């Protein structure tokens, strides 16, 4: 029994590569869909990565009026992502909010996580049933899924267990795709323009997965509330790359 516990403890410490603990060493900022800002397109001076993305939704700058909005605040070692995701009238589809670490695009600024199998997030949420939580990471050479996003990111949805207690969520790297829709944030939907997006998979679909090279060259992290309507509140204590889910995780990993 003692041996087993010790082995497990060693395994999980050896395997985890911390990417973010919200200790203030990296700046985070938030972006809301341009409808909410009252001006279009939204310009994110400190993060050029975001402006082309936010500029495309909604298509018409005439549609204004404060819809999706969120704040991301770092306090006492926790990133608090709070807000509401609303229907964008011009699209009849939910808008989005995102929070992102400051990125450089010039160099990898995180450890090489290519030996890991996925991201692990330690979170608490008072809205665990909100369907639109997503996590994404930028890499030096990630392909972009649309002309609105010149710098690509790999994105994946994640679901939470019910209850407001702290929980550990494992998101396998095979759930991430660079080819996510700028309309839904999902990798399996077809845009109104006719473009079909693709998720990571086997064979031909491997081209949509993060490669070992991508995982060695992370340049930023993002949290999203996208593609679902409603209020959301997510407190994130840490984001790490892990070789296997720790025993505390409580979501089934897709086989
Ligand atoms: C969290 O977001 C909701 C929905 O937008 C808002 O009503 C509430 O005031 C926000 N709370 C904080 C602490 O910002």
- Per residue in 103-157, pLDDT (tens digit) is 776 777 899 999 999 999 999 999 999 999 999 999 999 999 877 677 899 999 9
**Highest-confidence segment of 7-16, 29-38, 101-110, 206-215:** 206-215
What's the start-to-end Cα distance of the chain, in Å?
28
- Per residue in 28-66, pLDDT (tens digit) is 998 876 543 333 333 333 333 333 333 334 333 333 334
Choose which residue among 66, 73, 75, 83 to substitute to test ligand 1 binding: the one with the highest number of ligand atoms within 8 A of its C-beta: 83
Q: So where are the chain's domains?
A: 17-34+53-246
Choose which residue among 230, 231, 234 to substitute to test ligand 1 binding: the one with the highest number of ligand atoms within 8 A of its C-beta: 231
Q: pLDDT over 90 for what percent of the chain?
A: 57
Q: Which tops the pLDDT comparison, 134 or 184? A: 134
The pLDDT of residue 92: 65
Supply the CATH classification number for the domain 17-34+53-246. Answer: 2.60.120.430
- In terms of Cα–Cα distance, which of 82, 88, 96, 206 is closest to 143? 206
The pLDDT of residue 146: 79
The residue whose CA has the least distance to atom 8 of ligand 1 is 83
Q: Which tops the pLDDT comparison, 220 or 58? A: 220
The residue whose CA has the least distance to atom 9 of ligand 1 is 83
For residue 36 and ligand 1, the question of a CB distance below 6 A is answered with: no
For residue 82 and ligand 1, the question of a CB distance below 6 A is answered with: yes
Measured in degrees and rounded to the nearest 5, phi and psi for residue 191 equal -70, 160
């Amino acid at each position: 029994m003692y041996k087993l516990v010790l082995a497990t403890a060693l395994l999980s410490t050896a395997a985890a590569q911390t990417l973010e603990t919200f200790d203030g060493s990296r700046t985070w900022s938030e972006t809301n869909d341009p409808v909410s800002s009252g001006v279009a397109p939204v310009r994110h001076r400190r993060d050029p990565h975001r402006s082309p993305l936010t500029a495309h939704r909604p298509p018409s700058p005439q549609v204004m009026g404060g819809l999706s909005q969120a704040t991301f605040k770092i306090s006492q070692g926790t990133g608090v992502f709070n807000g509401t995701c609303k229907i964008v009238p011009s699209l009849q589809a939910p808008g989005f909010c995102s929070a992102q670490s400051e990125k450089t695009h010039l160099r990898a600024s995180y450890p090489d996580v290519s030996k890991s199998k996925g991201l692990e997030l330690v979170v608490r949420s008072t809205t665990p049933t909100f369907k639109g939580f997503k996590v994404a990471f930028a890499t030096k050479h990630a392909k972009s899924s649309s002309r609105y996003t010149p710098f690509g990111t790999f994105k994946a949805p994640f679901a939470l267990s019910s209850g407001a207690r702290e929980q550990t969520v494992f998101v396998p790297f095979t759930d991430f795709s660079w080819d996510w829709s700028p309309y839904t944030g999902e990798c399996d939907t077809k845009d109104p323009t006719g473009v079909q997006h693709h998720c990571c998979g086997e064979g031909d679909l491997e081209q949509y997965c993060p490669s070992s090279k991508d995982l060695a060259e992370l340049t930023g992290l993002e949290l999203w509330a996208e593609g679902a309507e409603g209020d959301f509140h997510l407190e994130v204590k840490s984001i790490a790359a892990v070789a296997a889910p720790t025993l505390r995780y409580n979501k089934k990993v897709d086989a």
